[in-house]
Structure 1
């Protein structure tokens, strides 16, 4: 028996941080027979944001969510963006790396790093940043952590050389460590 075709919806939400919102959103998704395949949820400033990939075997489940979520958001003063999407697609075989940066917090760090990634056709699978106060000085320290995938044709050594140059220009510490082979 062949598996049924799945239908997909990406739900993005943002609203004032409060206890219970994730429960309410996931209950609404479940009430329409949606299945959460992937999600990211975080507090950013005073806002709670979520990014959720929902799948369903019945298109009516997705249509029901598309119809119901705008009023769900309005009732709770939450901005909601919906986008129907396709199944995750296969790409060429790639090599996964963990990328980390640490530096004093200055504008342009994420852009500088992502510019190098773009130059070499490196995909960002996951990226997060945060700042914290240094224990002794109180200076703002910036951290970036990412999972990136390099096409097999790209030399990790070349990327490390580019990062070393960036480190000297922007006073960053960048590490790039292989994870495993990925065939997404």
Structure 2
């Protein structure tokens, strides 16, 4: 039986003034060098475009992309950095849970939530935050959506109760539920 070969990856982070064509140029560079975008996050923050990509390829094709990045950085007027990585180590079994929190906007919400999970050795896998104006009142609201990896041996009902009490104490409307799929 042949042992499966471990995949090789390059994480690429790009930041610069938003303009049409950035995603086209970055994805074209990846494709032209024989690699594949496995995962990515791209968004406009203020007037800046930010992207982070996980690119999969052979060692030599990833090297070609690394060599092409300075020219791409110049063409797009962006700051681009990259780092090699391997497949994620699985470690202990984790259960994927979604966390959604909404509150009137104020400093410290992300830090409070991050502290809650960090203190319990729960990893935040993905997070997106945004602000918006509440209907009718126009009050600035803050929302957080995150995915966390909860150790399979953790007592979920107890964690959920503790999390809800914690959020109630901070006047945060929160939901913690398993990701179905």
Q: TM-score range by the shorter chain?
A: over 0.9
Q: Which has the larger displacement, 22-31 or 72-81?
A: 72-81
Give the secondary structure class of the aligned counterpart of 1:11: strand
My pick for the range that moved more, 103-112 or 144-153, is 144-153
Deviation at 1:71, TM superposition (A): 2.1
Task: Tell whether 2:129 aligns with 1:129.
Answer: yes
What is the aligned partner in structure 1 of residue 30 from structure 2?
Answer: 29
The residue aligned with 1:153 is: 153
Q: Spell out, residue by residue over 1:82-107, the C-alpha distance to the aligned partner (whole angstroms, 9 max, x if none).
A: 10111122221111111000000111
- Tell me the SS of whatever aligns to 2:175: strand
Q: Name the structure 2 match of 1:112.
A: 112
Please provide the CA RMSD for this pair. Answer: 1.7
SS of match in other structure, 1:166: helix
SS at match of 1:28: helix
| SS of the residue 1:9 aligns to | strand
1:102 matched residue in structure 2: 102
Is the Cα contact below 8 Å between 1:13 and 1:51 reproduced in 2?
Answer: yes
**Mapping 1:1-184, distance limit 5 Å:** 3-57=4-58, 59-180=59-180
What count of residue pairs does the alignment treat as equivalent? Answer: 180
TM-score normalised according to structure 1 size: 0.91
Query: Do the aligned partners of 2:6 and 2:87 also contact (CA within 8 Å) in 1?
Result: no
Structure 2 unaligned residues grouped into runs of 5+: none
Shift of 1:69: 0.3
TM-score by length of 2: 0.92
**In the TM superposition, what whole-angstrom CA distance separates every residue of 1:124-173 from its partner, at most 9, and x where no partner exists?**
22210111001111111101011111002222233223323332332111
2:31 and 2:11 map into 1 onto residues whose CA distance is: 15
List per-residue Cα deviations over 1:45-86 (Å, max 9, x = no partner).
Answer: 1111111001112x1111111111022112221011110111
Question: Is the partner of 2:91 in helix, strand or coil?
Answer: coil
Query: What SS does the corresponding residue of 1:53 show, helix, strand or coil?
Result: strand
